[in-house]
Structure 1
Amino acid sequence: MSLISIFFVSLGVGLSGALMPGPLLTVTINESYRKGFVAAPLLVAGHAVLEGALIVLLVLGLDRVLGNEYFFGVVGVAGGAFLFWMGLGMALDVRDRKLHLDLQEHSGMRMGPFVAGLTTSISNPYWFLWWATFGLSWLLISMDRGVAGVLSFYTGHIMADLLWYFLVAFLVVTGKRFLSDRVYNYLILACGAFLMVLGGRFIGAGLASLL
């Protein structure tokens, strides 16, 4: 497979994954409201650093660890608890009337978009599972072309995240002027509830793997 083919296949596969609703999408919506368009590249940068490090570890043989059900269970419980805590913080901010469209900061997420991109990704056990299975298979194909193949794979994958989350941030920021504080609070409450439900599902899946 040529390098350009690796890039575009990785781009398409990455988009199919990015378009699925998940914690990173929810955090992108929340952070774009708070910090504006700059939140998207920072979130993706944190996500990209983590994925770059993971690809290096996979090349070195980490796939055996990622495919272990106990590893999945531990990540599921710990990551699910973190996502639940994050969602609960957003919901409590709505309850306490701390969120307004004219505020640049609030207490819902003090870590910043870059760190949020890291922590949200690493809290998702299915992110590890995707990389241990489907992601790894494409990485192995890319490795046939050496370092250039791996770089083409990685670049296409991250470009998919950039395209999608830039679009999400753009829609959030441009639509912000048409929203009232009331609608904004309902949206953040929905995002918080989604993270709590997702966190609960991750905890349940993690416990099922451990027990």
Structure 2
Amino acid sequence: MELSGIFITSMMVAFSGAMMPGPLLTVTISESHKKGFWAGPLIVLGHAMLELALVVALVFGFKRFFTSDMVVGVIGLLGGLFLLWMGSDMLRGAIKKTVSFEVNSFSKIKIGPVVAGIFVSISNPYWTIWWATIGVAYVLAALKFGILGLIFFFTAHILADLICYSAVSFMVVTGKRFLSERIYRVLISICGIFLILLAAYFIFSGLRFFLRV
């Protein structure tokens, strides 16, 4: 695969992942209501910081660590608990009517968009699996071209995320004026329920990986 192929296919793969429903998309919608358009890019910044650290780790030969059932299982369990906490807090705020897009909603959650981008990413065990399989393959292909190959791969990967989640933030912010408080709380309730269900799935999946050890 040439450098152009690495760039184009890396972006396409990243787009396909970013467009799928998941915790990062849910949190982007929530944070965009609270903090405006820049929530999306800032969440991607946190996500990119984590992935950059992971690429460096993979380059230095820690693939075996990230393919360990023990590691994936622990991440699944801890990540599921984190998603459960976030989803419960969102649902509780919607039910108690303490959330509003006119005020700083979810005030109990003290983490900002950048930190949220880090924790929401690492809370998903299949993010680890993706990097332990597809990500490793891309890193190895990119390394054939040295540092330049890694730059092409990583830039395309993050650019796709930035475009996707910035677009989501833009749509949320521009459409916010057409949302009533009731519709907004319904949206937050749906997001909260989704995260709780996803948390249960991740915890179950984490247990399966953990019990393989």
| Structure 2 Cα separation of the partners of residues 68 and 157 of structure 1 | 24
Can you list the C-alpha shifts for 1:134-181, whole angstroms capped at 9, x where unaligned? 111111111100000001000000001001001111111111110000
1:90 touches 1:108 (CA, 8 Å); kept in 2?
no
2:209 match: 209
How far apart are 1:70 and its partner, in Å? 1.1
| Structure 2 Cα separation of the partners of residues 188 and 9 of structure 1 | 34
How far apart are 1:105 and its partner, in Å? 4.1
Matches within 5 A, 1:134-149: 134-149=134-149
2:90 touches 2:106 (CA, 8 Å); kept in 1?
no
Q: Which segment is superposed worse, 91-100 or 172-181? A: 91-100
| Structure 1 Cα separation of the partners of residues 100 and 26 of structure 2 | 18
| Structure 1 Cα separation of the partners of residues 146 and 10 of structure 2 | 16
1:158 match: 158
2:195 match: 195
| Structure 2 Cα separation of the partners of residues 191 and 119 of structure 1 | 17
TM-score between both structures, scaled by the size of structure 1? 0.97
Aligned residues: 211
1:57 counterpart letter in structure 2: A
Q: Percent identity?
A: 50
1:121 match: 121
2:98 touches 2:105 (CA, 8 Å); kept in 1?
no
| Structure 2 Cα separation of the partners of residues 45 and 101 of structure 1 | 23
How far apart are 1:183 and its partner, in Å? 0.2
Q: How much is the aligned-residue C-alpha RMSD, in angstroms?
A: 1.0
**After TM superposition, where is structure 1 displaced by more than 6 Å over at least 4 residues in a row?**
none
How far apart are 1:201 and its partner, in Å? 0.5
| Structure 2 Cα separation of the partners of residues 171 and 62 of structure 1 | 39
Can you list the C-alpha shifts for 1:10-41, whole angstroms capped at 9, x where unaligned? 11111011111110000000000111101011
Q: Which runs of 5+ in 1 are unaligned?
A: none
1:23 match: 23
TM-score between both structures, scaled by the size of structure 2? 0.96
2:83 match: 83
1:184 match: 184
| Structure 2 Cα separation of the partners of residues 106 and 89 of structure 1 | 7
How far apart are 1:104 and its partner, in Å? 2.9
| Structure 2 Cα separation of the partners of residues 196 and 151 of structure 1 | 36
